C-alpha cells in the first residue's frame, strides 16, 4: 500500500472514558445545490459553527432524502483513550461523498456525518435514542483523515463531573487572552471575537484582564477601565471591569458547579499604582469570601466552585502582604517572566509559556513549537487525589498551574495581528491536541501507556468562538477525561472487551 493510500484511511481516537464500537459505515452523495434545501456549500461550512447548531438537521435531511450507495457493517472496538487505525477510506471530496459512521456506546446508537473540506470540522454526535446518556463531540481533521471523539458537549457546566478534591491546577482549562477585547478597536488591540458572557457559556473558565485605575485620587470609587497595554479596548466608549465581574457572577449563580479564574494585571496610562489597584479590588470587589477565593494558594475544585479565583499580576501593599497569616493575598503572579517560552513565577504557583515576540510571520512556527512543548509539560503531571496510589509519594509536591498563551502580536506587521496569528495557531493546536497530545502509542493492541493525566493546563488564546468555532475549547475540556475516570472509577466496559 502506498503512502498516499494509507493517508486516505481513517484513524479514530477515543478520548472519552467510555468504550466505543463502530457498527456501520454508509456513504452518501452530497446533494447538489437546488436538489434540496441543504446545499453542498452549507454542509462544508461546519467549522464556522453550522454543525454545532444544526448537526441533527443535517442527519435528518440525509436520512429522509438520500440513499446510501455503500452500506457496510463493521465491528471496530475502540477502548477508552485508544486509537484505531481503520481500513475505512475517508470520504472523497471529488466524489462529493458524505461518510456516515454509526457507533454503539453502552448499548445506545450514535452517528456522525463526516464531510471532506479544507478546514477542521466539529459537531456533536447525533443520538438515535430518545433519552441519550452521552454527549460526544467529534472533531474531524480532513488533511490527516483523523476523527477525535471527546466528552465535552455540556459546555456550561463541564466541571460538574470532576471530583471536588482535584486541584484546580490539574484541570485542562480553556482561557482567553485580553478576554474583554471583543469591541470595535484597533486591529492590534482587539483579541476576541465574542463577549466574555458568550465565552463563559461555551466553556471558557480563565479570563486574562488588563485594567487601569480611573480615579487614583479617590479610592472610594470602584472604577477600573479595561485596557490593552496603553490603549482603550473600544473605540465606541470606555468599558469597565465591573461589567465583566457582573457577567461572571451572574454565570456562576446559574452554574454552581463551575469556577472562573481571573488573572488581573495593571496596564494603561495615568497615575494609578499597584497600591491603588489592591485597595479597589479588596474594598469594592473581592471582599466577599463566599464568591471570591483570594488565598495565596491553589485551591481544590471543591473550594473554588461557585467562586472567582483571583490571580494577581501586581504587587501588594503592606497591609495585604500581612493577610492570611503573613502569606499574602491571592495567587501570586506579580513576578511574571516576560516573553518566555518556559519559566516559573517566583511564587512557584505558575509555570508560563508567554512568548509574544512574533515580529514576523516566520516566527509563528516558533510560537507553535513553544505552545506544543508547554502542552506536553502539562500532560506529564500526575494529579494527586486522596485515596490514589500517587498520594503518599506526591503529597508534598508542588502542583503549579501550567499557563500556555497562544497569543502574540506585532502592531507593525499585518500578518502578526492577533486575529491573523490566531487563524494559524488555533487550527494547528487543535490538530496537535486531537492527534498527538498525550497520545504516545495508544493503538488498541498496544500495552504502552503514557505517564501523566494528559492535562493541557490552561490554554489561553485569541479570537475564540470566531464564526462559531469552539473546537479548541471543546478538545481542551475533553482532555479532562482521565480525571473523570479517577472520580467515577474504572471505565465502563459493557462486555465489549
Q: What is the pTM of this model?
A: 0.89
Q: Which residues pair with 207 in a beta bridge?
A: 176, 262
**Residue with more model confidence, 487 or 496:** 487
Asked if residue 342 has pLDDT above 90, the reply is yes
pLDDT tens per residue across span 80-132: 999 999 999 999 888 888 999 999 999 999 999 998 876 677 888 999 988 89
| Cα separation values, 165 from 307, 384, 397, 409, Å | 16, 9, 16, 38
**DSSP string over 25-54:** EEEEEPPPBTTBSS-HHHHTTGGGTHHHHH
- Minimum mean pLDDT among 141-145, 180-184, 368-372: which range? 141-145
Please give the pLDDT value at position 386: 56
Please give the pLDDT value at position 459: 98
Rounded Cα distance between 493 and 274, Å, is: 55
Average pLDDT, the chain: 86
Instruction: Give residue for cell 478534591.
Output: 165
Q: Across 2-11, 61-70, 187-196, which has the greatest mean pLDDT? A: 187-196
pLDDT tens per residue across span 24-72: 999 998 776 444 433 333 333 333 333 333 333 344 346 556 788 899 9
- Minimum mean pLDDT among 6-10, 32-36, 184-188, 291-295: which range? 32-36
Please give the pLDDT value at position 93: 80
Rounded Cα distance between 249 and 290, Å, is: 11
Q: Are strands 458-461 and 401-405 parallel, antiparallel or unpaired?
A: parallel
The C-alpha cell that represents 187 in the structure block: 486591529
In sequence order, which residues have a C-beta less than 8 Å from that of residue 362 and are 6 or more positions away? none
- Strands of 108-215 (E only): list them: 108-114, 121-124, 126-127, 137-141, 146-150, 173-176, 206-213
Question: What percent of the chain is modeled with pLDDT above 90?
Answer: 71
Instruction: Give residue for cell 480525571.
Output: 483
Rounded Cα distance between 484 and 451, Å, is: 16
The C-alpha cell that represents 143 in the structure block: 488533511
Q: CA 208: distance to chain centroid?
A: 14
Instruction: Give residue for cell 429522509.
Output: 64
Rounded Cα distance between 233 and 441, Å, is: 45
| Averaged pLDDT, 278-292 | 96
- Strands of 142-238 (E only): list them: 146-150, 173-176, 206-213, 224-228, 231-232
Q: Across 18-32, 123-137, 190-204, which has the greatest mean pLDDT? A: 190-204
Please give the pLDDT value at position 154: 84
pLDDT tens per residue across span 410-459: 888 999 999 999 999 999 999 999 999 998 755 544 445 567 889 999 99
pLDDT tens per residue across span 210-233: 999 999 999 889 999 999 999 999
| Averaged pLDDT, 328-332 | 97
The C-alpha cell that represents 116 in the structure block: 471532506
Amino acid at each position: 500500500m502506498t503512502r498516499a493510500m494509507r493517508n486516505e484511511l481513517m484513524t479514530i481516537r477515543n478520548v472519552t472514558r467510555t468504550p466505543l464500537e463502530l457498527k456501520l459505515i454508509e456513504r452518501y452523495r452530497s446533494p447538489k445545490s437546488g436538489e434540496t434545501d441543504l446545499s453542498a456549500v452549507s454542509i462544508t461550512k461546519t467549522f464556522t459553527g453550522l454543525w454545532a447548531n444544526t448537526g441533527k438537521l443535517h442527519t435528518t435531511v440525509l436520512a429522509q432524502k438520500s440513499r446510501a450507495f455503500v452500506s457496510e457493517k463493521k465491528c471496530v472496538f475502540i477502548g477508552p483513550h485508544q486509537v484505531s487505525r481503520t481500513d475505512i477510506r475517508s470520504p472523497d471530496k471529488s466524489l462529493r461523498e458524505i461518510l456516515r459512521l454509526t457507533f454503539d456506546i453502552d448499548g445506545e446508537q450514535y452517528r456522525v456525518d463526516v464531510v471532506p473540506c479544507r478546514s477542521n470540522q466539529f459537531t456533536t454526535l447525533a443520538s438515535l435514542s430518545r433519552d441519550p446518556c452521552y454527549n460526544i463531540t467529534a472533531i474531524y481533521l480532513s488533511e490527516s483523515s483523523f476523527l477525535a471523539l471527546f466528552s465535552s458537549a455540556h459546555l456550561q457546566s463541564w466541571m460538574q463531573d470532576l471530583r471536588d478534591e482535584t486541584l484546580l491546577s490539574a484541570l485542562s482549562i480553556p482561557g482567553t487572552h485580553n478576554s474583554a477585547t471583543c469591541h470595535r478597536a484597533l486591529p492590534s488591540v482587539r483579541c476576541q471575537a465574542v463577549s466574555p458572557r458568550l465565552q463563559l457559556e461555551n466553556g471558557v473558565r480563565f479570563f486574562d484582564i488588563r485594567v487601569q485605575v480611573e480615579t487614583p485620587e479617590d479610592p472610594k470609587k470602584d472604577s477600573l477601565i479595561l485596557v490593552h497595554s496603553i490603549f482603550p479596548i473600544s473605540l465606541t466608549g470606555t468599558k469597565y471591569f465591573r461589567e465583566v465581574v457582573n457577567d461572571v457572577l451572574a454565570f456562576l449563580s446559574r452554574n454552581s458547579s463551575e469556577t472562573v479564574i481571573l488573572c488581573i494585571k495593571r496596564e494603561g496610562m495615568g497615575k494609578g499604582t499597584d497600591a491603588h489597584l489592591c485597595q479597589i479590588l479588596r474594598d469594592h470587589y473581592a471582599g466577599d469570601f463566599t464568591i471570591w477565593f483570594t488565598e495565596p494558594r491553589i485551591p481544590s475544585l471543591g473550594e473554588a466552585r461557585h467562586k472567582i479565583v483571583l490571580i494577581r499580576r501586581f504587587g501588594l501593599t503592606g497591609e495585604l502582604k500581612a493577610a492570611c497569616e503573613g502569606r499574602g493575598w491571592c495567587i501570586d503572579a506579580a513576578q511574571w517572566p516576560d516573553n518566555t517560552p518556559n519559566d516559573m513565577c517566583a511564587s512557584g504557583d505558575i509555570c508560563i509559556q508567554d512568548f509574544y515576540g512574533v515580529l514576523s510571520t516566520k516566527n509563528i512556527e516558533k510560537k507553535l513549537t513553544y505552545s506544543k512543548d508547554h502542552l506536553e509539560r502539562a500532560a506529564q503531571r500526575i494529579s494527586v487525589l486522596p485515596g490514589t496510589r500517587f498520594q503518599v509519594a506526591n503529597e508534598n509536591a508542588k502542583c503549579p498551574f501550567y499557563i500556555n498563551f497562544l497569543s502574540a502580536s506585532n502592531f507593525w506587521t499585518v500578518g502578526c495581528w492577533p486575529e491573523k496569528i490566531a487563524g494559524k495557531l488555533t487550527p494547528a493546536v487543535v490538530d496537535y491536541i486531537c492527534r498527538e497530545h498525550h497520545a504516545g502509542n495508544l493503538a488498541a493492541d498496544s500495552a504502552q501507556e503514557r505517564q501523566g493525566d494528559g492535562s493541557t493546563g490552561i490554554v489561553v488564546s485569541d479570537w475564540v468562538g470566531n464564526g462559531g468555532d469552539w473546537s479548541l475549547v471543546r478538545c481542551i475540556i475533553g482532555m479532562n477525561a482521565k480525571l473523570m475516570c479517577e472520580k467515577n472509577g474504572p471505565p465502563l466496559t459493557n462486555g465489549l472487551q
